[in-house]
Amino acid sequence: MFSRIIKNFFLKRKIYKKIESFTLPHSDSKIASIGLLVDESYFLYTAQLIEEICAFGFQPSQIELLCFVDKKKKGSAENKLYFTYKDIAWSGTVKNAEVLNFTAKSFDLLISYYDIEKAPLLAVSFLSKAKFKIGFQTIHKKVNHLVVNEFAENYKTFISEVFKYLKIINKI
């Protein structure tokens, strides 16, 4: 527990230093693929979240899900891609090959669905090669292109706001 707190502190510090000198690239392309990064130790309705995204005209095959959990439980559903604190090194690099593949994919949209800033989630959001990133207002402002002021429990409202703004900026 104590080592996790120290690791979280140093990892956030390292990521914040990288973020401060980073500018988000801009892309005018339409959205065809979506990466979804969810803190499943806090938010358990990922299936409903995906259904809500699909209600706006996307197929489940266009959405790739990566879930963060504090501790991987034995017997948990293996059809989802999970990562934990152990998959991120103290230096901010990713040790898990599946998470590396997720960050290397050039999604048209990355939805960072977590409103509590945890260092592994922040690292994956920052390292992602997504062309357009959306997240919550409580997360560091330079990680996402667009932030939404909403609570994580209100996933229907969050997704409707996201797609309302994507339509305004001509992304869909």
CA distance 39 to 140: 16
Residue 93's pLDDT is what?
81
Domains present along the chain, CATH in parentheses: 2-168 (3.40.50)
Consecutive 10-residue averages of pLDDT for the chain (172 residues): 73 73 68 92 89 93 92 66 86 86 92 90 89 88 86 90 89 78
Three-state SS for 128?
Answer: coil
pTM for this prediction: 0.84
pLDDT at 21: 66
Looking at residue 36, what is its pLDDT?
A: 95
pLDDT of residue 24: 60
Q: Name the E strands within the chain.
A: 34-39, 63-68, 81-83, 109-113, 133-136, 146-148
Of 165, 166, 160, 168, the residue nearest 55 (C-alpha): 160
